Amino acid sequence: MAEATKLIHKYLRHDKKFPHVWCPGCGNGILLGSLIRGIDRTGIEKDDIVIVSGIGCSGRLSVYVDFNTLHTTHGRALTFATGIKLANPKLNVIVIMGDGDATAIGGNHFIHAARRNLDLTAIVVNNNIYGMTGGQYSPTTPYGAMAATALYGNIEHAFSIAELAVMAGAGMVSRGTVYHAAMLDDLIEKAILRRGFAVVEVMSHCHIQYGRRNQMGDAVEMLRLQKEAAVRAEKAAQMPAEEMMGRYTIGVLADRELPVYTEEYEKVRKSAKEMMQLVGKAESGDLKAADKRRKREAAGEADNAEI
């Protein structure tokens, strides 16, 4: 198994400061490992991969990996990624976002990227809170939970990111947890290889900002909670609704063949090109005729002048 560690080191930027910036026991570190293993399994060259990240704890991830990377503004990771993909469709673009990044400030970009079925891989790290900025509640903080800006309990209801993406029309949607790291490797690998918008919601934990305020214990306890709350999609289908209360499904939740935006866009470009060529031919024909007429007239005028 030492190969696993060797593999990780193959993809890390060793000129960056290690150990990384995340708190002890943070799920982002486990996700980083899974992401690297997932990418390695696809066999795609380092230079053909672009990692785009937004702002937040998860945004730091792009700093540590040795691919083409882009650390963008808050919530706009998907818009930058859209630009990259459309400019060079050959690149494999992987977007890392936090829950606040993807569903609050970048919520509109998220649902529209899913609706368009852009050929991107979106990894949304859901830790139920804004960790880096001090524990403000996010769109995925559960109802009643405590946060720095919800001292009497959160009165808003949480988004379910994966289900949101399914409804918005993403090609592939899956959910994993950092506790089930081996499964997460598979989900990330599948998502990268999948054409179309592939979302992986990664259930992570923030024991510093969220766990501490909600008496959920440290990283170890929060990983145990993930183990208890996660139910495989196949098993969940057979479970009564009452038992699923407070739990979530993991695995591939949606996998469907839909027209991919980049390919559709290429078709439009092709048809537009053909149309323009036709128009160009017609116009240039007219222009030549007009040119000849003008020349003839000019010659005639010159003749007249000479006389």
Partner 1 sequence: MESTQDSGRGAGKVPLVPKKNMAGEPSGNEDSGKAQFKIDIFRGWCKCCGICAAFCPRQCIRLDEEGSPQADCRKCTGCGWCELHCPDFAISVRKIEDAGRTTEDRA
CA neighbor of 199 nearest in space, from 236, 253, 258: 253
Residue 11 or 137 with smaller CB distance to partner 1 = 11
Nearer to partner 1, 167 or 225 (CB): 225
Among 172, 45, 57, residue whose Cα is nearest residue 120: 172
Q: Is the peptide bond preceding residue 19 cis, with omega within 30 degrees of 0?
A: yes
Output the smallest distance, CB 9 to partner 1, in A.
7
Shortest CB 127 distance to partner 1, Å:
13
Is the CB of residue 62 less than 8 Å from the CB of residue 76?
A: no
CA–CA dist 30, 94 (Å, integer): 17
Q: How far is the CB of 42 from partner 1 (least distance, A)?
A: 18
Cβ atoms of 130 and 100 closer than 8 Å: yes
- The residue ranges that bind partner 1 (CB under 8 A) are 1-2, 4-5, 8-9, 12, 18-20, 22-30, 32-33, 178-179, 181-182, 218-220, 223
71 forms bridges with which residues in the sheet? Answer: 53
Task: Indicate the residue among 33 and 135 with the shorter CB distance to partner 1.
Answer: 33
User: Closest approach of Cβ 203 to partner 1, in Å?
Assistant: 14
CB of 261 to partner 1, least distance (A): 35
Comparison of 19 and 240: residue with beta carbon closer to partner 1: 19
**CA proximity to 58, closest of 32, 85, 24, 79:** 32
Q: Return the number of the residue (24 or 134) whose C-beta is nearest partner 1.
A: 24
If you count them, how many residues does the chain have?
A: 307
Which tokens belong to 141?
């903080």
Q: How far is the CB of 87 from partner 1 (least distance, A)?
A: 33
Q: Which is nearer to partner 1, 36 or 97 (CB)?
A: 36
| Residue 231 β-bridge partners | 249
Supply φ then ψ for residue 234, to 5 degrees: -65, -40
